[in-house]
A = this chain, B = another copy of it.
Amino acid sequence: MLSVRLKMTIQQSEPDPQFLLENMFVAVMDNIFLLVLVTLLSVVQNVFFALKVEKECTGQHSKPHSAAFERLSCANRNCMDTYPTFLAVLWCAGICLSQAPAAFAGIIYLVVRQKYFVGYLGQTCQSTPGFLFGKRILFFLSLMCAVGIINHLMLSYGGNDYKEYIQTITKAASALLLLP
């Protein structure tokens, strides 16, 4: 649809530059709105975690350092420690290569994080002790970044553009993240 509108604009005898600029921003939004959506979901999850910790903290301030609060606070800290890394990789992968597989991997990461946090609350045997969870997803996103950069360099210096093939492969590969 955007192409049609742009074509109309360019074929006019006097194209309106304001319209060209607006279309540029629509095109940018087209390429990031799924990433914004995932970011928004992750922020909602962060607030959910923080409210859990706050509730535990104010609810039991008679005995401030109970075991439950310690575990909750530790789970929250582990989640927050990897959050900037996750955001950086998500956005780089989405911008460099393709937003749909990146956003899909981001959603799966949020589900894994939720399971990790809830598992931490419950019995100790359920909880994962690692500092990094969702390693596979972060690795997948990093790989997407690297492939995107390599493709850009090949396009700049060699003139070959394999972006469409790579995007197809990436979409297929992102389904593999669903494997347990």
User: A residues engaging B (CB < 8 A)?
Assistant: 1-3, 6-7, 9-11, 14-15, 17-18, 20-21, 24-33, 36-37, 39-40, 42-44, 46-47, 50-51, 53-54, 57-58, 76-77, 80-85, 87-89, 92, 95-96, 129-132, 135, 138, 142, 145-146, 148-149, 152-153, 155-156
> Which residues in B have their C-beta under 8 angstroms from that of A18?
3
> Which residues in B have their C-beta under 8 angstroms from that of A14?
10-11
Question: Mostly helix, strand, loop or mixed at chain A's interface?
Answer: helix
Minimum C-beta distance from A110 to chain B (A): 13
Contact indicator B156/A39 (Cβ below 8 Å): no
Contact indicator B29/A152 (Cβ below 8 Å): yes
> Which residues in B have their C-beta under 8 angstroms from that of A87?
84, 88
* Given A7-B17, A40-B149, A77-B81, 18 more pairs with CB closer than 8 A: A1-B156, A2-B17, A10-B20, A11-B14, A24-B27, A29-B95, A29-B152, A33-B153, A36-B145, A39-B88, A39-B92, A40-B92, A50-B81, A50-B82, A50-B132, A80-B81, A84-B87, A87-B88
Contact indicator A46/B85 (Cβ below 8 Å): yes
CB nearest to A49 among chain B residues: B131
> Which residues in B have their C-beta under 8 angstroms from that of A36?
92, 95-96, 145, 148-149
C-alpha spacing A45/B32, complex, angstroms: 26
